[in-house]
Amino acid sequence: LPLEGQTITVASKGFTEQYILADLLRRTLEAQGARVRVREGLGTTVAFDALAADSVDIYVDYTGTVWASLMNEEEPAQRADMYAQVSAWLLAEHGVLSAGKLGFENAYAFATSPETARTHDLETIGDLSGAPLSIASDPEFFGRPEWTRTRDAYGLESLSPRSMDSAFMYDAVRRGEVGLITAYTTDGRIDAFELVLLEDTRSVLPPYDAFMLIGPEARTNTALLNVLGALEGKISTELMRKANSRVDLERQSSAQAGAWLYEQIFPA
Ligand code: PBE
Model confidence pLDDT, tens digit, residues 199-215: 999 999 999 999 999 99
Closest among 145, 151, 146 to 133, alpha carbons compared: 151
- Whether 5 shows a pLDDT value over 90: the answer reads yes
pLDDT at 239 over 90: yes
Q: Which atom of ligand 1 is nearest to the CA of 146?
A: 7
Gap from CA of 219 to ligand 1 centroid (Å)? 24
Nearest CA to ligand 1 atom 1: 107
Give the span between the Cα atoms of 223 and 204, in whole angstroms: 39
Assess whether pLDDT exceeds 90 at residue 75.
no
**Average of pLDDT values for 55-84?**
93
CA–CA gap between residue 164 and residue 173 (Å, rounded): 11
> What is the mean predicted confidence (pLDDT) over 158-169?
97
Which of the four pLDDT bands, split at 50, 70 and 90, describes residue 77? confident
pLDDT over 90 (residue 73): no
Residue 62 near ligand 1, beta carbon < 6 Å: yes
Residue 146 pLDDT:
94
Cα–Cα distance between 15 and 19 in angstroms, integer?
A: 6
The alpha carbon of 4 and the centre of ligand 1 are apart by a number of angstroms equal to 33
CB of 208 sitting under 6 A from ligand 1: yes
Q: Is 104 left (phi over 0), alpha (psi -120 to 50) or beta?
A: beta
Spell out the alpha helix ranges (H) of the chain. 16-30, 44-52, 63-65, 79-94, 114-120, 145-154, 166-174, 189-192, 222-229, 237-248, 254-265
Mean pLDDT of the chain: 97
How many residues can be counted in the chain?
A: 268
- List C-alpha distances in Å: 261 to 7, 110, 187, 238, 246: 23, 27, 15, 12, 10
Rounded CA gap, 50 and 45, in Å? Answer: 8
3-class secondary structure, 234: coil
**Would you say the C-alpha torsion 211, 70, 80, 243 has a positive or negative sign?**
positive
Tell me the CA–centroid distance for residue 166 and ligand 1, in Å: 10
Ligand 1, atom 8, residue with closest C-alpha: 65
CA distances from 163 to 31, 135, 141, 172 (A): 39, 8, 8, 12
Asked if residues 210 and 62 have their Cβ atoms less than 8 Å apart, the reply is yes
Are the C-beta atoms of 172 and 113 separated by less than 8 Å? Answer: no
What's the rounded Cα separation, in Å, for the pair 147 and 142?
Answer: 6
Cα–Cα distance, 193 to 134 (Å, whole number)? 19
Query: What pairing do the DSSP bridges indicate for beta strands 134-137 and 180-184?
Result: parallel
Residue nearest to atom 4 of ligand 1 (CA): 184
Ligand 1 near 106 CB (within 6 A): yes
Burial of 68 (0-12, 13-18, 19+ CB in 10 A): buried
- Ligand 1 pocket, mutate which of 65, 144, 186, 241 (most atoms under 8 A from CB): 65
Per-residue pLDDT, 169: 98
Say if ligand 1 is within 6 A of residue 104 CB: no
Spacing, Cα 229 to ligand 1 middle (Å)? 23
Q: Residue 163: what are its φ and ψ, rounded to 5°?
A: -75, 140
**What pLDDT shows up at residue 80?**
87
Q: Ligand 1 centre from 213 Cα, in Å?
A: 15
Q: Check pLDDT > 90 for residue 143.
A: yes
CB of 19 shorter than 6 A to ligand 1? no
C-alpha–C-alpha distance, residues 126 and 153, integer Å = 9
Of ligand 1's listed atoms, the one at least distance from the Cα of 138 is 4
- 267 in helix, strand or coil? coil
Q: What percentage of the chain reaches a pLDDT higher than 70? A: 100
Above 90 in pLDDT, residue 76? Answer: no
Report which of residues 224 and 75 the model is more confident about: 224
1 alpha carbon – ligand 1 mean position (Å): 34
User: How far from the centroid of its chain's Cα atoms is residue 44's Cα?
Assistant: 10
Question: Could you report the per-residue pLDDT of 90-141, keeping only the tens digit for each?
Answer: 999 999 999 999 999 999 999 999 999 999 999 999 999 999 999 999 999 9
